[in-house]
């Protein structure tokens, strides 16, 4: 009864959660400006808030990659 009297607008809830997720999640970023052709090492990268970029779980995929211009 109570739930029927107070329905949840799932679409607006998803929009609110998206903003919160972006704010509180993390992304991989470069610690400093890196030149074209640089071979990515763990010391070149950091994980910081807010999210919106590559998630930290992808960090191993980036190690050893060469930056293109």
Span 5-25, pLDDT tens digits: 777 788 877 777 777 777 778
As a whole number, mean pLDDT of residues 34-45 equals 97
pLDDT score recorded for residue 1? 67
Q: Say how far residue 63 (Cα) sits from the centre of its chain.
A: 17
Backbone angles phi, psi at 63, to 5 degrees: -65, 130
């Amino acid at each position: 009864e109570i739930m029927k009297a107070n329905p949840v607008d799932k679409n607006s809830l998803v929009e609110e959660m998206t903003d919160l997720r972006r704010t509180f999640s993390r992304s991989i970023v470069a610690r400093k400006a890196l030149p074209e052709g640089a071979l990515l090492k763990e010391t070149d990268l950091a994980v910081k808030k807010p999210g919106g970029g590559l998630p930290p779980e992808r960090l191993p995929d980036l190690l050893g990659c060469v930056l293109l211009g």
